[in-house]
């Protein structure tokens, strides 16, 4: 991607194939469409030139408008920002910082903290590399002044079974509408005194990184045995698709448990419009058609007490990239999940490659898919009772009324039959439950993923415990 240094043809990909590119000799800087004065630094959407400052305003406005439009984040609410180190979540962090530091009445009013999950073990990083990433991340987080939690994916193995159950929904101020809450909050602020500008939502002073795992102990890597167990879990997974799904599941459970135990009612994740479009098609191909809205929408309330919100979902990847570049947003990039040569690509990779490729030729691809996703509704995606709830993704089971033939891909052939035919290499250990016992507890797509996970003995303890409880009740 190029900065338009006087050549507007550089962003021609966004200008639809029908328009002729301007001849090389005639390049000149375009003027910003907003202020009409500055020379354009980039072109966003389909041919809208913006100068740096107007772009910055546009970017920041979008974030606040997203939160304001949805009226979900109440003033004074404790919000946990899930930082992956990647460009989108880093931009999100910057937006929160900028938003909170404004001195006008338009200041953002919630209380943020940040969580980062080190996934280096499963991403093939060496111990030294993991230490390095963690150190960089810690420096980054300390500079923000927000409380932060550095976690390791290994800790997912120590999660309690209760994370697979939605928590009770309690709003901190029952019965208050959003408007009333905001007005009440402003009143409170005035009463606290005018001289104290940052009361209430004041950030703890810089350096007060309240690393939840003990002072600086978080930077130390977890016990090798735990890492080994995690690696065993991932290595037993048969397909890259299932690995990706497993990673996402463990990560979100870990983040939600942190939120739950520390009293955060909201978790913000960084998913851009591009990522949402990719996720829509990926999840379609995984069999999650019933849950697209809850998987990609602005709010995801399947866990009850903690709600996941996705405020970055209208930003295109290109806008994020330029913003981070122009305004020096720091990132800590982690390598992707490693795959072996003989592995086929994951569904996630296939869709990503396809969409990014198609977007090059048809620049409205991503936004069309995004808009289609917007038209989907999330009613009936949330389960009403435990027997109707998927063990792993907590959505309502989507299998009633389906034909037998339609359900065939989700079934596990009886392990006994497999052994007889000599297909099964590892008969289940004595006393361990059969994989097929889990199937009735899962939705269509989780069944497909589950079939590709390793034997039951490698599964995380919290999953096994919760499954046992539900099978035997």
Q: How many other CB atoms are found less than 10 A from the CB of residue 183?
A: 13
Pairwise CA distance, residues 273 & 167, whole Å:
29
Report residue 277 as tokens.
């479009």
Pairing mode, strands 266-269 and 307-309: parallel
The interface mask with other proteins, positions 431-470, x = CB under 8 A, is -------------xx--x----------------------
Pick out residues in 350-379 that bind other proteins (CB under 8 A): 350-351, 354, 358, 365, 368-369, 371-372, 375-379
Contacts with other proteins: how many residues (CB under 8 A)? 54
Report residue 459 as tokens.
């599964």
Q: 389 phi and psi, to 5 degrees? A: -110, 140
Kindly indicate which of the ranges 146-154, 161-169, 253-261, 349-357 contains the residues binding other proteins, using the contact rule CB under 8 A. Answer: 349-357
Helix (H, G, I), strand (E, B) or coil at 449: helix
| The only residue of 268, 398, 463, 466 in contact with other proteins, by rule CB under 8 A | 398
Q: How many other CB atoms are found less than 10 A from the CB of residue 151?
A: 22
Residue 204 or 357: which CB sits closer to other proteins? 357
Residue 227 or 239: which CB sits closer to other proteins? 239
Residue 106 or 420: which CB sits closer to other proteins? 420
Kindly indicate which of the ranges 15-23, 99-107, 297-305, 338-346 contains the residues binding other proteins, using the contact rule CB under 8 A. Answer: 338-346
344 belongs to the binding site for other proteins (CB under 8 A): yes
Q: How many other CB atoms are found less than 10 A from the CB of residue 310?
A: 23
Q: 385 phi and psi, to 5 degrees? A: -145, 170
Closest CA to 413 of 401, 245, 421: 421
268, β-bridge pairs: 81, 309
Helix or strand holding residue 309 (H, E): strand 307-309
Pick out residues in 268-327 that bind other proteins (CB under 8 A): 280-281, 283-290, 292-293
| The only residue of 25, 195, 401, 431 in contact with other proteins, by rule CB under 8 A | 401
Closest CA to 182 of 274, 271, 107, 261: 107
Pairwise CA distance, residues 381 & 288, whole Å:
10
The interface mask with other proteins, positions 234-273, x = CB under 8 A, is -----x-x--------------------------------
Kindly indicate which of the ranges 66-74, 104-112, 200-208, 414-422 contains the residues binding other proteins, using the contact rule CB under 8 A. Answer: 414-422
Please state the closest distance from residue 368 (CB atom) to other proteins, in A. Answer: 4
Residues that bind other proteins (CB under 8 A): 239, 241, 280-281, 283-290, 292-293, 344-347, 349-351, 354, 358, 365, 368-369, 371-372, 375-381, 398, 401-406, 408-409, 411, 413, 417, 421-423, 425, 444-445, 448
């Amino acid at each position: 991607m190029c900065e338009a240094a006087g050549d507007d043809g550089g962003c021609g990909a966004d200008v639809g194939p029908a328009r002729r590119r301007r001849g090389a000799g005639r390049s000149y800087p375009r003027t910003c469409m907003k202020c009409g004065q500055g020379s354009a630094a980039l072109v966003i959407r389909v041919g809208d030139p913006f100068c740096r400052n107007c772009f910055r305003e546009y970017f920041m406005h979008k974030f606040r408008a997203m939160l304001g439009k949805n009226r979900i984040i109440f003033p004074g609410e404790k919000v946990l920002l899930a930082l992956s180190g990647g460009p989108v979540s880093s931009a999100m962090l910057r937006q929160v910082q900028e938003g909170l530091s404004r001195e006008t009445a338009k200041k953002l009013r919630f209380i943020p903290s940040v969580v980062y999950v080190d996934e280096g073990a499963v991403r093939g990083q060496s111990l030294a590399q993991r230490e390095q990433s963690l150190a960089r991340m810690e420096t980054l987080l300390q500079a923000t002044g927000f409380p932060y939690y550095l976690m390791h994916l290994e800790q997912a193995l120590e999660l309690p079974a209760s994370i697979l159950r939605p928590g009770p929904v309690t709003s901190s101020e029952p019965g208050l509408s959003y408007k009333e809450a905001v007005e009440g909050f402003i009143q409170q602020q005035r009463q606290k005194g005018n001289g104290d500008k940052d009361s209430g939502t004041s950030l703890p002073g810089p350096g007060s990184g309240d690393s939840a795992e003990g002072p600086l102990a978080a930077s130390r890597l977890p016990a090798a045995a735990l890492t080994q167990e995690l690696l065993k879990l991932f290595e037993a997974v048969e397909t890259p698709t299932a690995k990706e799904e497993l990673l996402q599941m463990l990560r979100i459970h870990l983040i939600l448990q942190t939120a739950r135990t520390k009293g955060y009612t909201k978790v913000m994740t960084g998913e851009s419009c591009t990522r949402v479009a990719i996720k829509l098609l990926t999840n379609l191909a995984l069999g999650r058609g019933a849950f697209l809205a809850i998987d990609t929408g602005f709010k995801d309330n399947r866990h009850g007490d903690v709600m996941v919100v996705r405020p970055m979902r209208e930003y295109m990847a290109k806008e994020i990239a330029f913003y981070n570049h122009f305004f020096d947003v720091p990132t800590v990039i982690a390598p992707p999940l490693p795959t072996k040569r003989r592995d086929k690509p994951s569904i996630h990779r296939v869709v990503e490659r396809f969409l990014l490729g198609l977007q090059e030729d048809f620049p409205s691809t991503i936004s069309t898919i995004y808009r289609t996703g917007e038209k989907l509704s999330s009613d009936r995606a949330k389960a009403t009772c435990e027997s109707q709830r998927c063990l792993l993704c907590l959505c309502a089971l989507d299998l009633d009324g389906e034909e037998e033939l339609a359900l065939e891909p989700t079934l596990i052939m009886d392990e006994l039959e497999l052994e007889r035919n000599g297909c099964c290499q590892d008969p289940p250990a004595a006393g361990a439950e059969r994989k097929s016992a889990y199937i009735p507890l899962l939705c269509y797509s989780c069944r497909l993923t589950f079939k590709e996970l390793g034997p039951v003995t490698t599964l995380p303890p919290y999953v096994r415990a919760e499954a046992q409880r539900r099978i035997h009740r």
